[in-house]
Structures are given as C-alpha cells and as structure tokens.
Chain A
Amino acid sequence: MTTLTPAVAASNQLLGSLPEADLQRLMDDMRLVHLKARQNIYNTCQLVQRVYFPYPVSFRW
C-alpha cells in the first residue's frame, strides 16, 4: 500500500489544484484506501458519509 504524502494526495487533480496549506489541512483527516472493481460506494437516497478522490481508480454513477 502506498504511503499518503502530499505528492500522493496531489495526484488527484482536484486536490492537486489546492494551495499547499489547504491540502495539508485536509490530509490530517485523509486516508488512502484500496477499492475493488464493482464495489458499491453508496446507494440512491443514502447519506454520503465519506467523499472519495480517485487516484487512479474510476467510478460511475
């Protein structure tokens, strides 16, 4: 498993567009997870409890 560093976080382009201080603040609560193909992230009408920044996994809705 890759170690979470600012460079890894910035490999997601949305996060990578943030100023360094903003990204660093978010990283304190961020973790890296591995997701399997076909894994359900959330369903319709479900409370979204976590947000995901893919790197390099892809999702569909």
Chain B
Amino acid sequence: MTSMEGVDVEVCLAGNEGMVGDEAARDGGVSFRRALVQTSGDALVLPSEIFRREFQLGGALQSAVLRHQQTSLAQTSQTTMCNRLHSVEERLSRWLLMAHDRTQGDRLELTQEFLSQMLGARRSGVTIAAGLLRDAHAIKYTRGAITVADRDCLESCACGCYLELERLLRETGLFVNQNSTVLQ
C-alpha cells in the first residue's frame, strides 16, 4: 500500500497458491491496493467479467477464492503485528522464506531498496540485517539478487510469524510450499 507521503509498504504477498485481483469478484470491483510483480515469471490471466460470473455461480471457485481471501487477511494481520514487534533481521528472514515458498529456485531478484520498502524498514537497517544473515551463511547476496543458501538456518533466524502463517495456510488446505522444508 502507498501512504499519503508516497511511501510503499508491503501488506500481502501472493504466489502460485493464490491470485491477484480478487476484488473483481464484487460488482464494480475497484482495488484499494496497488499490485506489483515482485519477481518475473508467468501467470494465467482471466478477464474480470468471466471471473465474476464464475464466482457468482457459488461453486468451487467461490469457495477457493474465499479461502484465499481468508489467508490473505491473516497474512496482512500477521505482517502488521510482525512489523510492530520483531527485529529487522527476523522480519527479513520471514519475508525471504515467504518469497522463497512462492517462487521456483533459490535466487530472488531483489534490491535492498526494494526490501526496505517491503519491510517498512530503513535501508540501513536492511543492509545490517542482510549482512547478519550472510555471515550466518543463510543467504548470499549480490547486487540486485539474494540467494537462499541455507533454508534451515534462515528458518531459525525468522520470528514465529512465519510458522504461524504456514500453519494457517496448511489448515485452509490451499497452500503447499515449493521450497519449504517446514511442511515436508
């Protein structure tokens, strides 16, 4: 979301477990958020009117979208609490794990400037936190990219918010991680 001052802060993350644009389920579906592609890749795209028509049939798509909205709300709530209570290092670890779960491979194309926006933290704080994770051999980073080098280590550096979100996603039955070792 973008503040009145023009500062972007991430409030939710979606990958191949879910969708973007579910606001279109309502008549006159106007978004109250901005959606941005984080890492390049492919997506299946459907015109809103087709999606809305199928949603309003009240079948399996409606159930799946409502589950997705429930988990998105939980993620937003957990992220809000996490940003208030936990250190930048813990938040960065959580965020990298969530991003890693939703992409293929270990390499994430990200700049520290972009990460500072996503975490709602100062860039200097993100630089220090990334340095600590690199020194712990959890990640490697080069200009414009971070590679998850040791997922177990990264999980041990994250706050409990990551596991709590994973539990919720598992209970909704909508999400099986591509990279996570937590659920395997």
Interface string of A31-61 (1 = CB under 8 A from B): 1111111111111111111111111111111
Q: A7 to B133: give the CA distance in the assembly, Å.
A: 37
Bound: A14/B15 CA distance, A: 10
Distance, CA A60 to CA B35, complexed state (A) = 6
A residues near B46, Cβ cutoff 8 Å? 26, 29-30, 50-51, 53
Which range contains the number of A residues in contact with the other chain?
35 or more
- Provide the residues of chain B in CB contact with A37, threshold 8 Å: 37-40, 109
| Complex alpha-carbon distance, A56 and B60, angstroms | 22
Q: Is the CB of B64 within 8 A of A34?
A: no
Number of residues in B with C-beta < 8 Å to the partner?
58
A14–B102 CA distance with the chains assembled, in angstroms: 13
Is B168's CB within 8 Å of the partner chain A?
no
Are A56 and B178 within 8 A (Cβ)? Answer: yes
> Which of the candidate stretches B21-29, B82-90, B134-142, B151-159 sits at the interface with the other chain?
B21-29
Task: Report how far A36 CA is from B39 CA in the complex, Å.
Answer: 7
Contact B35 A61 (CB under 8 A): yes
Complex interface: chain B residues within 8 A of A53 (CB): 16, 18-19, 43-46
8 closest A-B pairs by CB:
A57-B41, A51-B21, A41-B35, A61-B33, A58-B15, A39-B37, A48-B24, A58-B102
